[in-house]
Amino acid sequence: MKKFLIVYGLIGIILVTLLICFSSTELPEINQTLYIQATQLSDRVTEEIWPGYSFKSYPVAIRKGNTDYVFHGDKCIKRKAALPIIAATAYKHEGEINIFMPSKADMDSLGQIAEGLSESQEQFFITGFALDKEGISDNRYVAILFHEGLHAYQLEHFKDNLFNAMPDSSHEHEEVLRLVDTDTTIRNLYARENEAFYDILQLQDKGELKGKISRYLTIREERIHTFRQKYGDGKTDLLKVLENYYEKVEGTARYTEARAARLLGDDDLYREYIQSLQVNMDGNEKYYRSGMAMSLIFDELNPAWKEEVFSKPESMFELLADYGRALDEQ
């Protein structure tokens, strides 16, 4: 718990202070309405987006001020806030995995929310979840609920697979990710990767898929080779581990979020997720987007990909390369 509080204490203080300014003491009814909407959509998400993932099976703790309003089915209880910071995440509380969300009003008011996946108090990987200053739509709030719910599913069924692949958080991680963001050559290669993803997702003729995937794989391999030449094997190997972790854990969750937007019938919101690939981002956000893009491509290449993505040790990139080779053999 000490490490948890030290690492996230500062952001927690900032967010809690802002919430005191923005919050009333009771949870507005819209939060229950959006939770009910998500539970009503839960079975379709299981059938059409992610088999085996049942959003409605997890309690959802919506935080308002220092209180969690915990919804599960048709029940709601109030308790003291379980986390020391405001976060959108999945976390085991008193032996039961909970989905944690800020209230809709607080997400509208704050420009950034802590977000991520929690396995234990000593290992809590969260990053800034950027939100539009104008606030978020009801549909996006519901889509984010499904994003965080997928983290609960990951935590329940694939904890060892996912967390064992991630080294302990350290300054070395920050250094490697900082190099990625500050090296102009590497940034430009990332931008080219995103362009390749965007082109793939715009394809009308699936016959062009093979060549477009090959282009993406070539650019990414060039970027890794360039990074290795400039910064050595150790930093490159760590970067590949970090990329795999965030693409596999957060990218699949962002994919679920985007697909949920489409399930809600909000095509404009879905297009926003795809168009986000055209914006070069710093920090871990870039991996949310690249992991989302690969997940959407996997839908075209192998409808059964979700059966193996969390259980197999291969990275998302390696799986895409495997699928690309399978196309070559056809």
Taking only the tens place, the pLDDT of each residue in 229-249 is 999 999 999 999 999 999 999
Mean pLDDT of the chain: 85
In the DSSP assignment, the letter for residue 25 is S
Average pLDDT over residues 155-177: 80
Q: CA-CA distance, 138 to 130, in Å (whole number)?
A: 16
264: pLDDT strictly greater than 90: yes
| Cα 130 to Cα 107: distance, rounded to the nearest angstrom | 10
The average pLDDT across 20-45 equals 84
Mean pLDDT confidence for 46-58: 98
> In this predicted structure, what is the pLDDT of residue 20?
40
pLDDT digits over 95-149, tens only?
999 999 999 988 887 655 566 654 443 334 444 455 454 678 999 999 999 999 9
pLDDT at res. 330? 67
Percent of the chain predicted with pLDDT > 90? 65
- pLDDT confidence of 171, banded at 50, 70, 90? confident
pTM of the model: 0.88
- Which amino acid appears at position 217 of this protein? L
Among candidate residues 90, 96, 95, 242, the one with its CA nearest the CA of residue 154: 90
For residue range 53-85, list pLDDT tens digits in order.
Answer: 999 999 999 999 999 999 999 999 999 999 888
- Residue 13: per-residue pLDDT: 36
Residues 20, 21, 27, 28: what is their CA dihedral angle, to the nearest 10 degrees?
180
